[in-house]
Structure 1
């Protein structure tokens, strides 16, 4: 995607629940210092002992949410439009659009090519190659776990949870741009205002569909 892209997630993946060595101390054939807990190398899927490492959302709800919002016109700022044009490939250099791909949670705000490539690998590992990493945040797996516990008590229905994320900055720099500056000067990309606006534009069609036709949604995602 690009700055402002809005993505409905199928999988919520936790990035922080890993073992970590300082990358300078890791074996030379490891791309980073991260490996799954109780594994022997970075490409081995760990046992999911914590039970919060990966969650799968309702695919019928995701598909319906995407169908309702996929043609929504998304916003850009002057700065984000100029920034995306630095990238020599699509979809990074194209206008934002609504899409479907997965989101990665972690308390550490990471940036840079190597860690972002690790995020791609980690997402595939935990979803058995079904997930596609494209956005990051800090809270979704924790929020899901809290709602899951409420669901077990009959307080909410976890199958009614949909997650949409909009990109406010790139996770890795364009060719020739500094990895450090990509993190420290993230605000220069001009993505926060359009990303916030695009969350509303993308999520609102689903909200309106449910509110205006509750009889069809009351028992779950309608077929039509």
Structure 2
């Protein structure tokens, strides 16, 4: 039996014990401390696939840039919401993740920055496949082609003037000083060549409409069946079109010391800049499928080619987006299967 003074002391002790018991299962005034829930470890990303747009749903309807990736890798994945990104990220059990970033340089770069800085993911050893559709000059490629980017060049960073205000036939572009580290990126040649070597013989789909459309062009490259190539990807928010601006794009590529311009797109150089600042560019791949020529044939105006009559479109879109994933999936599957050889960098090629 406790004396009265001791009973008064016991009440707060018992109250403390009760709180501890509720938090930690302790039934006495011992020294146990409450346990706290551990945060889930970040997802170790092996390959991140970045698409720019989707048409409707991620599966079951007309495919855009992401649907075939989703159906191949993410059918059973739960969406992971990332503040600041256009859409959710999907990840499978093998460490392959992907998302739709949005079209255009600002849209896509804002999304990729939000994703790579999000603590739910660990990108320290990740490879990036920037994936989408593109245009191609008929002198360099054709509808249905798939190209790995060797260089990413920003088309917009510079000074331009109207052609009539310069020398006849001379270029109307000069680079802007101070943008040397922002306007072009030489991607890791070992990685690009490894990806090309493992995919160069991948069979590509074609369509009757694309085959007929190619015959409008006199260029040998435009008339060929689709295949896998390597070259410079030209990034421009400006949807440049026509033989004059195509020639200018090739001029800019050569001005910067890059390879031949083979694909025009709207995001890759901006995404590369974001990744350069956070993780470097050694593990970036740019993969584009050609769904249009960057100019009309010699018998049509640029405006007519941009706004074709019914039945005059190129065709081959569905086949091209399937080709992109058929080619890119070989690389993704190889990295996952042989991860011990790839995790520290591109393995030596035999």
| Fold agreement, TM-score > 0.5 | yes
CA–CA distance in structure 2, aligned partners of residues 35 and 148 of structure 1: 25
Name the counterpart of 1:220: 345
CA–CA distance in structure 1, aligned partners of residues 304 and 316 of structure 2: 16
Does structure 2 retain, via aligned residues, the 8 Å contact 1:3–1:170? Answer: yes
Name the counterpart of 1:182: 305
Secondary structure (helix, strand or coil) at the match of 1:142 reads helix
Does structure 2 retain, via aligned residues, the 8 Å contact 1:13–1:54? Answer: yes
Does structure 2 retain, via aligned residues, the 8 Å contact 1:167–1:191? Answer: no
CA–CA distance in structure 2, aligned partners of residues 165 and 34 of structure 1: 26
Name the counterpart of 1:35: 174
CA–CA distance in structure 1, aligned partners of residues 205 and 247 of structure 2: 28
1:137 and 2:265 correspond: yes
**Correspondence list, 1:161-176, <5 A:** 161-176=284-299
Shift of 1:172: 1.6
Shift of 1:69: 0.5
Name the counterpart of 2:155: 15
Secondary structure (helix, strand or coil) at the match of 2:234 reads strand
Counting strand residues as a fraction of each chain, which structure ranks higher? 2
Which protein has greater RCO, CA pairs closer than 8 Å, 6+ apart?
A: 1
**Correspondence list, 1:1-224, <5 A:** 1-31=141-171, 33-37=172-176, 47=177, 49=179, 51-127=181-257, 130-151=258-279, 158-185=281-308, 188-223=313-348, 224=350
Deviation readout 1:103-133 (Å, 9 max, x if unpaired): 0001010110011011111101112xx4110
Structure 2 stretches lacking a partner, 5+ long: 1-140
Shift of 1:135: 0.3
* Length-normalised TM-score, structure 1: 0.86
Deviation readout 1:195-219 (Å, 9 max, x if unpaired): 2111101111110100111111111
Q: For the pair shown, which has the larger CA radius of gyration, 1 or 2?
A: 2
Deviates more, 1:64-73 or 1:84-93: 84-93
Residues paired across the two proteins, number: 207
Shift of 1:50: 5.0
Runs of 4+ in 1 over 6 A off after TM superposition: none
CA–CA distance in structure 1, aligned partners of residues 299 and 323 of structure 2: 29
Does structure 2 retain, via aligned residues, the 8 Å contact 1:112–1:183? Answer: no
Shift of 1:2: 0.2
Does structure 2 retain, via aligned residues, the 8 Å contact 1:8–1:62? Answer: yes
CA–CA distance in structure 2, aligned partners of residues 117 and 82 of structure 1: 25
CA–CA distance in structure 1, aligned partners of residues 218 and 236 of structure 2: 29
Shift of 1:51: 2.0
